[in-house]
Amino acid sequence: MRNRTLADLDRVVALGGGHGLGRVMSALSPLGSRLTGIVTTTDNGGSTGRIRRSEGGIAWGDTRNCLNQLITEPSVASAMFEYRFSGNGELSGHNLGNLMLKALDHLSVRPMEAINLLRSLLKVDAWLIPMSEQPVDLQALDHEGHPVYGEVNIDQLTHMPQEMTLSPHVSATREAIEAISQADLILIGPGSFLTSLMPLLLLDDLTQALRRSSASMIYIGNLGKELSVAAAALTLQDKLAMMESKIGRKMIDAVVVSPTVDTSG
């Protein structure tokens, strides 16, 4: 891997959510169909949260953001996909892309089909895979043992939770497992550590796939400060230890972090 470039790689897989994964996917978009993003689907805030409370289903917001970042040919379709409603009505704050994904989800057998239909419409070559095709939320026990439900509330914690789990227990998307098994390089991050990255590592079959993988793995840290007070208190070594504990073995070969981050340890 040391003397290889991205052009030499047949399969690159990026794991994450929020804005971080979208930016990584955008930067690596010249890889085309050799690039796959596996997207966190536990968001319960904003337009996504409102849709989930009303209609159920997986969280579409992070997938929509990745598709936005991967659009290279502006069109009427891309302008519609990026449109956000304003004003004071019921649609205020909703992103049309989220609504389109939800509508296609209703019309499709699987969420993957909805994503692939929009990839085709928007002329996006890279693959996007939801971490699970089943509705799931993030939950935690805070430092005093009290239950905390949902990404939004977990991001408000001022102390690290004792435990984080997914509710209900779900399986990873089949294509996500296959992508990891075929990967030459796996990237994780940047993104909110507790609510964008860790949910992926709470999927048992996904961490099993990572454990079996022979790919090199790189952790990409945030350039800016974590908005989560609890996560902001973690050192780089804390984060690596937590991720590798979930994976079940030492796997992260390299890190890309801000020059101000202490990499000793």
214-233 burial, b for 16+ CB within 10 Å, e for fewer? ebbbbbbbbeeebebebbee
Going edge to edge, which strands form the sheet with 163-167?
147-149, 137-141, 163-167
Structure tokens at 185: 């390089």
Whether the CA torsion 194, 176, 181, 13 is positive or negative: it is negative
d(CA 204, CA 142): 22
* Residue 265, domain member (yes or no): no
* Residue 228, domain member (yes or no): yes
pTM over 0.75: yes
* Residue 263, domain member (yes or no): no
CATH number where 199 lies: 3.40.50.10680
Q: How many domains does the chain have?
A: 1
* Residue 184, domain member (yes or no): yes
Beta-carbon count within 10 A of 208 CB? 15
* Residue 54, domain member (yes or no): yes
* Residue 261, domain member (yes or no): no
* Residue 262, domain member (yes or no): no
Domain that holds residue 132: 6-256
* Residue 1, domain member (yes or no): no
Residue-level pLDDT, tens digit, the chain, 265 residues? 556 787 789 999 999 998 999 999 999 999 999 999 999 999 999 999 999 999 999 999 999 999 999 998 888 988 999 999 998 889 999 999 999 999 999 998 899 999 999 999 999 999 999 999 999 999 999 999 999 999 999 999 999 999 999 999 999 999 999 999 999 999 999 999 999 999 999 999 999 999 999 999 999 999 888 889 999 999 999 999 999 999 999 999 999 999 889 888 6
